[in-house]
Amino acid sequence: MKPLTLDKILQTQGFGTRKECRNLILHGAVGVGDEIVTDYQVTPDTANLDFTVDGASWRYREHVYIALNKPAGVECSRRPAVHRGVLSLLPDQFTLRDVQPVGRLDHDTTGLLLLSDDGNFIHAQSHPKRHVSKTYVATIQEQVTPELVAQLSAGVKLSDEPAPLAAKARQLDTYQIEIAIDMGKYHQVKRMLAAAGHHCVALHRTAIGGLTLESLGLKEGAWCYLENEQLAQL
């Protein structure tokens, strides 16, 4: 593959148009290794390339894979209508790179959300045939009962689904139940609980596949890059 010039590298990393990136370089805002570089035609090796823009450090990444601990009151939509958009919690570069949420959480659902600019990854993760398991902790208005756990495990009928949908369910606490599903139907967990006669008052996603929010140690609103080892857990 033809080596990328520095202006093109910056453009792929979300630092603006080619012209804007050239200007950043010409104005001495960009460093490679320990040196400020003002020639935008240099072609540094992108493998393990660390660079700075206005003093902030970045690593070149062909694609980004991100985990976010989503707070409540944030919309996953690209054009948020009522609440702030999830991309506003990430550096602006990610919006320019066309980073998108992998699936959606409701505005009031909290917890683990993946985002990426890799279309193949987004498609593979969201494809219904892949059956990626997603684990939630739901807090419900009435006490969790053995009957509720049994009902969810056996399957409940949603009005727009031809067959009952089942979940792995277990009681965690008086009002908390862990629910794992491997599909991503609209409002699926809340609707399954409603179909079983319960009202969900809070919903938190704790894991996607084998990747847990706890293992990432992310505070609410915080994000991190996912490296190969973590991607393998999905």
Contact residues for ligand URA, defined by CB under 6 A: 105-106, 109, 187-190, 203
Quote the CA–CA distance of 228 and 47 in Å, as a whole number.
15
Q: 179 Cβ partners below 8 Å, 6+ apart? A: 135, 136, 137, 138, 152, 167, 168, 169, 189, 192, 193
Instruction: Tally helices (H) and strands (E) across the chain.
Output: 8, 15
Q: Which of 106, 108, 118, 182 is catalytic?
A: 106
Tokens of residue 109, six digits: 């659902």
Quote the CA–CA distance of 205 and 184 in Å, as a whole number.
12
State yes or no: is 106 an active-site residue.
Answer: yes
Query: Nearer Cβ to ligand URA, position 97 or 190?
Result: 190
Closest CB 190 distance from ligand URA, rounded Å: 4
Closest CB 54 distance from ligand URA, rounded Å: 36
Query: Nearer Cβ to ligand URA, position 99 or 158?
Result: 158
Closest CB 170 distance from ligand URA, rounded Å: 17
Quote the CA–CA distance of 160 and 182 in Å, as a whole number.
17
Sheet (strand 56-59) strand order? 35-36, 30-32, 50-53, 56-59
Query: Nearer Cβ to ligand URA, position 29 or 179?
Result: 179
Which residue in the block uniquely carries the two structure tokens 């960009």?
A: 30
Query: Nearer Cβ to ligand URA, position 13 or 188?
Result: 188
Closest CB 192 distance from ligand URA, rounded Å: 8
Residue 75: beta bridge partners? Answer: 85
- The residues that are catalytic are 106
